[in-house]
Amino acid sequence: MRLSRYFMPILKENPKEAEIVSHRLMLRTGMIRQQSQGIYSWLPLGKRVLDKVNAIIREEQNRAGAIELLMPTLQSADLWKESGRYDAYGKEMLRITDRQERPMLYGPTNEEMVTDIFRSYVKSYKDLPLNLYHIQLKFRDEIRPRFGTMRSREFLMKDAYSFDLTREGAEHSYNKMFAAYLRTFSRLGLRAIPMRADTGPIGGNLSHEFIILADTGESEVFCHKDFVNFDIPAADTDFDDVDGLKAIFDKWTSVYAATSEMHDAPAFEAIPEGERLSARGIEVGHIFYFGTKYSEPMGAKVQGPDGKEHFVHMGSYGIGPTRLVPAIIEASHDENGIIWPASVAPFDAVVINMKAGDAACDSACERIYGALRNAGTDVLYDDTDDRAGTKFATADLIGVPVQVIAGPRGVANGEIELKDRKTGARETMTIEAAINKLTA
Amino acid sequence: MRLSRYFMPILKENPKEAEIVSHRLMLRTGMIRQQSQGIYSWLPLGKRVLDKVNAIIREEQNRAGAIELLMPTLQSADLWKESGRYDAYGKEMLRITDRQERPMLYGPTNEEMVTDIFRSYVKSYKDLPLNLYHIQLKFRDEIRPRFGTMRSREFLMKDAYSFDLTREGAEHSYNKMFAAYLRTFSRLGLRAIPMRADTGPIGGNLSHEFIILADTGESEVFCHKDFVNFDIPAADTDFDDVDGLKAIFDKWTSVYAATSEMHDAPAFEAIPEGERLSARGIEVGHIFYFGTKYSEPMGAKVQGPDGKEHFVHMGSYGIGPTRLVPAIIEASHDENGIIWPASVAPFDAVVINMKAGDAACDSACERIYGALRNAGTDVLYDDTDDRAGTKFATADLIGVPVQVIAGPRGVANGEIELKDRKTGARETMTIEAAINKLTA
């Protein structure tokens, strides 16, 4: 992408309304724009990151055997009356009346709708286990949306829903998502810690939040320092291996970790002081087992091997991609801007032409830009006539992992400079060597 | 994907509510499910097709220089009051009041919001031309939604918006989208004919609908038969070539074509009778040039090379992916089911195990399934214990282009059968030859 043809409105000033660093950096880099209170557009740079986050979430859901569909945003109130949540949900639910005067709502979550889909088609235990997920917009009419897309009203959520014949089956489904979440957050460059959590309005009796540590976190969290060294499940994890997944779950729940709601101070203080971690965290995922809470009132049952009908045991599993993006920034930035993990960077590399209009610089940059594009690299080419200093600042601000810097002096010797955004390390090399290195 | 682990709820009976073949087939194959009147879930098989359609639309928008972002579904009523459309839009606009009593709406289109984004950041003609698009849900509260996702209330739309300094620039932007649309529909296996159209509530004075011919079409259309042989712009079309794109536009608008709203009977009858085509069609895209209709009331202006401020000239360009899917089915099916064009098929091939449980059949199918998966093919493996006849019927119904049929007799000789869904042609070959052919 040539920057001269791109739409990346960098703000020169720090926006006053931003209270936390991710919100400030997302506004400054032109990743997002607030359209109404707590409702955001994802501008092109932000959209790229969001797409990469979604792609990783999707790959790991699929790997764990979950199947993607797409449920609509608007739901009928009738469904929610069946589960009893229509009245219980309160003012966060955006209630809507259509032109036929039918009561509707903008889905804040999809337990009811997916249970309705399930009961319409699935009649036998032979079709279980089943895990259906979608990545779809949700709306929760928070009284005080804040921190940009960290806590917005319209937001994207990946929500998966598992269906099993028995509680034991449901626990295995839960462990699949538990392992998938560990892999997902790790691939996003985050170390997430699963913590026993309150189930809130979703209900049920087994639930974990996945929390990443950050000073700006909304939650107070307490855990054992050992988490930092636990192994992430491998890419070839066998998700059908009941005992293997149980072992992963047991390992990751073997030492103390809790949010303030579930905090057990004496248990925490029993940990040697040097091994205790008390910090603030950001919730980036939440998983629930809630048994037959929805299947019973909504009549979602299957015929079992015993010939009798059984209400299915369900769980739900959420990750908020529009919240993950700022969470990644909170975890990875410096005073000059964002430092994207390579897996979600909007571009893999940025080519900086220090003197656009100079024939040798232009030619060197075009050559590099063309070669990287042909190799399938996502590359941004800063071909604008801004000053070199402005270009360096922008490249640091937007946090692309590798900067390829071409100036008149180097280019005269057939050389450019590679800069690693994270370490700041610079290396001079021939154009050919740079192309080889970046397309290897 | 193993069918035994997939969620593809095939209906045995033809659903009574479906009036047209695409609606019937989408329900029967478990592609979609109605959740409320005119509001659908896309079940896994449908979601796969929808994703492939979106990917082609996106590639062609990007090729033409349009830049993707993502605007939210809910909009503030204030924006629409600025353009004057809040009162004018009528009951199709779903109006919503949030908990703070602010008037909102579920966006039926995004001219106002994108103009607001533009005016917030772009101040100089040097940043033009600009074309921003998104693929986002829309809601239009139709009094009579029907034909499944062909005319639903919540639907997906790709909408692009171009911004230019001058009318001439805007016409070039229009021609870019015109050529991109011809390419898009062609890649989707459709022959679309651009027709002069009424601009409706979007406004403006230059507009084309892209119509595909189908007996079930809602519009009556009239055109010259020559369209069938016109060349589609090539993949290496230079979208910066003003004259080249104008030539494409001129060619494709050189002979008579009009919807009934714009029909000029004497002009049509001047065409020799054997070259006239009068038929029903389905609108699959609509493009508009509307000059300063939104930029003037909303103050979207840039400084020109003359140092003065100019209201920008705008156009908008829509394609409905959730309508395209049934449109493709209307254009491509037979009495046994859907015939997907390869570009959008939910799977590239289906492996049919005629006798699941038979060791030789299982082993042959696993070998083929594994080889196709490893080669990156989207392959469905019917490993269920259904009867062979049921599997054949299902494979035909869901319209996957290639069927790989493995039965005990053939497998005993190391052979399988390949069936082409479209032609019905069958070919017996060794397992090795089949793998080579399908992974070539």
Q: What is the DSSP secondary-structure string of B139-199?
A: E---SS-BTGGGB-SEEEEEEEEEEESSHHHHHHHHHHHHHHHHHHHHHTT--EEEEE---
Distance CA A26, CA A399 (A): 11
pLDDT score for B131 = 98
pLDDT score for B201 = 63
How many angstroms separate the first and last alpha carbons of chain B? 20
Residues of A in contact with B153 (CB under 8 A): 74, 98
Q: What is the pLDDT of residues A300-358, one digit of tens each?
A: 999 999 999 999 999 999 999 999 999 999 999 999 999 999 999 999 999 999 999 99
Residues of B in contact with A73 (CB under 8 A): 73, 137, 154
B214 touches B22 (CB < 8 A): no
B287 phi, psi to nearest 5 deg = -125, 145
Residues of A in contact with B122 (CB under 8 A): 9
- Mark yes or no for CB contact A69/B94 under 8 Å: no
CA distance B166 to chain A (A): 18
The pLDDT of B155-181, averaged and rounded, is 98
The pLDDT of A187-208, averaged and rounded, is 82
pLDDT score for A219 = 83
Q: What is the pLDDT of residues A389-429, one digit of tens each?
A: 999 999 999 999 999 999 999 999 999 999 999 999 999 99
Q: How confident is the model at residue A204 (pLDDT cuts 50, 70, 90)?
A: low
Q: Which residue of A has its CA nearest to B63?
A: A1
- The partner residue sitting opposite A71, judged by closest CB among B41, B71, B91, is B41
Residues of A in contact with B6 (CB under 8 A): 67
Residues of A in contact with B130 (CB under 8 A): 7
- The partner residue sitting opposite B76, judged by closest CB among A36, A70, A94, is A36
- Mark yes or no for CB contact B43/A69 under 8 Å: yes
B290 touches B115 (CB < 8 A): no
- The partner residue sitting opposite B70, judged by closest CB among A41, A99, A116, is A41
Joined tokens for residue A20: 């936390």
Q: What is the pLDDT of residues B351-397, one digit of tens each?
A: 999 999 999 999 999 999 999 999 999 999 999 999 999 999 999 99
pLDDT score for A203 = 62
Residues of chain A with pLDDT > 90, as a percent, come to 91
Q: Is the pTM of this model over 0.95?
A: yes
CA distance B434 to chain A (A): 27
B202 touches B109 (CB < 8 A): yes
Angle, in degrees to the nearest 10, between helices B167-187 and B44-63 = 140
- The partner residue sitting opposite B71, judged by closest CB among A9, A41, A120, is A41
Element of type H or E holding B302: strand B301-303
B322 touches B155 (CB < 8 A): yes
Residues of A in contact with B43 (CB under 8 A): 69, 117
Distance CA A75, CA A130 (A): 22
- The partner residue sitting opposite B72, judged by closest CB among A72, A121, A154, is A154
* CA-closest candidate to residue B180, choices B328, B363, B56: B56
pLDDT score for B203 = 62
Say whether pLDDT at B306 is over 90: yes
Choose the mutation target among B99, B102, B139, B383 for the interface with A, i.e. most A CBs under 10 Å: B99
The pLDDT of A275-279, averaged and rounded, is 93
CA angle A99, A100, A102 (to 5 degrees): 105
- Give the pairing type, strands A32-36 and B301-303: unpaired
Residues of chain A with pLDDT > 70, as a percent, come to 99
What's the complex ipTM? 0.96
pLDDT score for B202 = 62
Joined tokens for residue B107: 């966006």
pLDDT score for A213 = 87
Residues of B in contact with A102 (CB under 8 A): 36-37
Q: How confident is the model at residue B262 (pLDDT cuts 50, 70, 90)?
A: confident
- What are the counts of helices (DSSP H) followed by strands (DSSP E) for chain B? 14, 23
B21 touches B330 (CB < 8 A): yes
pLDDT score for B228 = 83
CA distance A45 to chain B (A): 8
pLDDT score for B217 = 82
Question: What average pLDDT does the structure give for chain A?
Answer: 95
Say whether pLDDT at A216 is over 80: no
Q: What is the pLDDT of residues A342-401, one digit of tens each?
A: 999 999 999 999 999 999 999 999 999 999 999 999 999 999 999 999 999 999 999 999
pLDDT score for B440 = 86
Distance CA A213, CA A207 (A): 19
CA distances from A164 to A119, A315, A366, B151 (A): 13, 9, 56, 36
Residues of A in contact with B102 (CB under 8 A): 36-37
- Mark yes or no for CB contact A68/B132 under 8 Å: no
pLDDT score for A202 = 61
CA distances from B98 to A95, A97, A142, B283 (A): 8, 12, 10, 35
Q: What is the pLDDT of residues A79-101, one digit of tens each?
A: 999 999 999 999 999 999 999 99
B111 touches B161 (CB < 8 A): yes
* CA-closest candidate to residue B40, choices B22, B13, B59, B61: B22
Give the 3-state DSSP-derived string for chain A, with helices as H, strands as E and coil as C.
CEHHHCCCCCCCCCCCCCCCHHHHHHHHCCCEEEEECCEEEECHHHHHHHHHHHHHHHHHHHHCCCEECECCCEEEHHHHHHHCHHHHCHHHCEEEECCCCCEEEECCCCHHHHHHHHHHHCCEHHHCCEEEEEEEEEECCCCCCECHHHECCEEEEEEEEEEECCHHHHHHHHHHHHHHHHHHHHHCCCCEEEEECCCHHHCCCEEEEEEEECCCCCEEEEEEHHHHHCCCCCCCCCCCCHHHHHHHHHHHCCCCEEEHHHCCHHHHHCCCHHHEEEEEEEEEEEEEEEECCCHHHHCCEEECCCCCEEECEEEEEEECHHHHHHHHHHHCEECCEECCCHHHCCCCEEEEECCCCCHHHHHHHHHHHHHHHHCCCCEEEECCCCCHHHHHHHHHHHCCCEEEEECHHHHHCCEEEEEECCCCCEEEEEHHHHHHHHHC
- Mark yes or no for CB contact A67/B143 under 8 Å: no
What is the three-class DSSP state of B303?
strand
